[in-house]
Amino acid sequence: MATVIELPVETYKGPVDPDWCPGCGDFGVLRSVQTAAGKCGVHPKDLLVVSGIGCSSNLPGFIHAYGIHSLHGRSVPVATGAHLANTDLKVVITGGDGDGYGIGVGHLIHAMRRNLDVTYVVMDNQIYGLTTGQASPTSAKGVKTKSTPAGNFESPLNPLVMAITSGATYVARGFSGEQKQLGELIAGGIAHKGFALIDVFSPCVTYNKINTYPYFKERVYKLEDEGYDPTNFYKAIEKAYEWGDRIPLGVVYKTEQETYEDNEPVLKKGPLVKQKLGIPKNVHQELIDEMI
Residue 93 has pLDDT above 80, yes or no: yes
* Residue 29, burial from CB neighbour count under 10 angstroms (0-12, 13-18, 19+): buried
Strand partners, 276: none
* Residue 170, burial from CB neighbour count under 10 angstroms (0-12, 13-18, 19+): buried
Rounded to whole angstroms, the Cα distance separating 93 from 60 reads 9
38 lies in some domain: yes
163 lies in some domain: yes
Report the interhelical angle of 159-166 vs 105-114 (nearest 10°).
Answer: 40
| Per-residue confidence band for 228, with pLDDT thresholds at 50, 70 and 90 | very high
99 lies in some domain: yes
| Per-residue confidence band for 239, with pLDDT thresholds at 50, 70 and 90 | very high
Mean pLDDT in residue range 94-118: 97
Long-range contacts, 153-158 (Cβ 8 Å, 24+): 156/126, 157/101, 157/105, 158/240, 158/241
Q: What CATH number is associated with residue 106?
A: 3.40.50.970
- Whether the CB-CB separation of 117 and 87 falls below 8 Å is answered with yes
Report the number of distinct structural domains present in the chain. Answer: 1
150 lies in some domain: yes
Question: What does the pLDDT look like over 138-193, one tens digit per residue?
Answer: 999 999 999 999 999 999 999 999 999 999 999 999 999 999 999 999 999 999 99
13 lies in some domain: no
| Per-residue confidence band for 3, with pLDDT thresholds at 50, 70 and 90 | confident
Residue ranges making up the domain that contains 144: 21-291
181 lies in some domain: yes
pTM greater than 0.75 (yes/no): yes
Rounded to whole angstroms, the Cα distance separating 27 from 110 reads 29
150 φ/ψ angles, rounded to the nearest 5 degrees: -95, 0
Report the interhelical angle of 75-85 vs 105-114 (nearest 10°).
Answer: 30
- Whether the CB-CB separation of 121 and 30 falls below 8 Å is answered with no
| Per-residue confidence band for 92, with pLDDT thresholds at 50, 70 and 90 | very high
Mean pLDDT in residue range 220-228: 96
10 lies in some domain: no
How high is the pLDDT of residue 193?
Answer: 98
Residue predicted with more confidence, 123 or 4:
123
2 lies in some domain: no
